[in-house]
C-alpha cells in the first residue's frame, strides 16, 4: 500500500506541474514558492507577516524564505521594512503590484482546482477532501521544523 501511495503521489506532483521551476501549476510565470508567499501575504492583509512566520507557513527554512522575499522585493511585489519595535524584525508587506499579482495567482489557482475537481466523480469529492485533510494532519505530526520533513 505504501508503495502505491508513494507512486500515485509522485505521479500527481509531476502531472500537476509542481516540478516546473519558473511557472506555477496554474500557469503564472513565477516560482511556486513565490506564488505561495504572495497568497499567504495577501491573506495576512495590511499588517503583513514576519519572514520567520512566512517560513513556517511555507514549510521552508529561513534562508530559502529570505531568498524568496528578496526576489519578490526586487521585482517590486513586496516591501520589507524594519519594525518600529525591533530593528531586526522585518514585516513583509505586499505592494500594490504584489497585491494585484497575488489576486491573479489566487484566481488562477481556484480555477485550476475547480476544473480538476470536476473530473473527480461527485460521490468521491468529499472523500478526496477528507483524505487530503488526513494527509496534511499526518505530515504536520511528522514535521519538527520547516523544511525538515521526515519523508
Domain that holds residue 92: 20-119
How does residue 97 score in pLDDT terms, banded at 50, 70 and 90? very high
Q: Is residue 147 part of a domain?
A: no
Q: Is residue 45 part of a domain?
A: yes
Question: pLDDT, tens digit, for every residue of 3-38?
Answer: 999 999 999 999 988 888 888 888 889 999 999 999
Residue whose C-alpha is closest to residue 113's, from 16, 37, 29 = 16
Contact in structure between 42 and 106 (CB atoms under 8 Å): yes
Q: Is residue 141 part of a domain?
A: no
Cβ neighbors of 98 (< 8 A, separation 6 or more) are: 38, 41, 72, 76, 77, 78
Q: Is residue 11 part of a domain?
A: no
Per-residue pLDDT, 102: 96
Domain count, the chain: 1
Average pLDDT (36-59) is: 93
Question: pLDDT, tens digit, for every residue of 116-151?
Answer: 999 999 999 999 999 999 998 998 888 655 455 554
Amino acid at each position: 500500500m505504501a508503495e502505491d501511495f508513494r507512486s500515485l503521489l509522485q505521479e500527481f506532483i509531476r502531472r500537476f506541474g509542481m516540478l516546473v521551476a519558473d511557472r506555477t501549476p496554474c500557469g503564472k510565470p513565477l516560482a511556486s514558492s513565490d506564488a505561495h508567499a504572495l497568497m499567504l501575504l495577501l491573506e495576512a492583509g495590511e499588517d503583513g507577516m514576519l519572514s520567520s512566520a512566512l517560513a513556517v507557513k511555507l514549510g521552508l527554512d529561513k534562508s530559502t524564505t529570505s531568498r524568496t522575499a528578496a526576489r519578490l522585493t526586487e521585482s517590486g511585489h513586496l516591501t520589507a521594512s524594519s519594525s518600529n519595535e525591533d530593528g531586526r524584525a522585518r514585516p513583509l508587506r505586499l505592494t500594490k503590484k504584489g497585491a494585484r499579482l497575488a489576486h491573479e495567482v489566487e484566481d488562477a489557482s481556484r480555477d485550476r482546482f475547480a476544473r480538476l475537481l470536476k473530473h473527480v466523480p461527485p460521490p468521491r469529492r468529499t472523500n478526496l477532501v477528507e483524505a487530503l485533510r488526513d494527509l496534511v494532519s499526518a505530515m504536520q505530526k511528522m514535521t519538527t521544523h520547516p523544511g525538515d520533513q521526515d519523508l
